[in-house]
Amino acid sequence: MIAPGTSLEDGGPAVLIFAGRPEVFITLDEAAAAFIAAVVLDIQIMERSKLTVDGYPGLAVELRGRAEGENYVVRAIFARPSETHFFVMVGLAPADRWENELMPWFEDMLASITLSEPE
pLDDT of 18: 87
Residues of the chain with pLDDT under 50: none
pLDDT in tens, 65-82: 887 788 889 999 999 888
The residue segments making up the domain with residue 31 are 14-111
pLDDT of 52: 94
Does residue 116 fall inside a structural domain?
no
Rounded CA-CA distance 20/83 in Å is 11
Does residue 1 fall inside a structural domain?
no
Does residue 85 fall inside a structural domain?
yes
pLDDT of 107: 93
Total domain count for the chain? Answer: 1
Rounded CA-CA distance 29/113 in Å is 21
Rounded CA-CA distance 78/52 in Å is 9
CATH number at residue 42: 3.40.1000.10
pLDDT of 89: 94
pLDDT of 41: 64
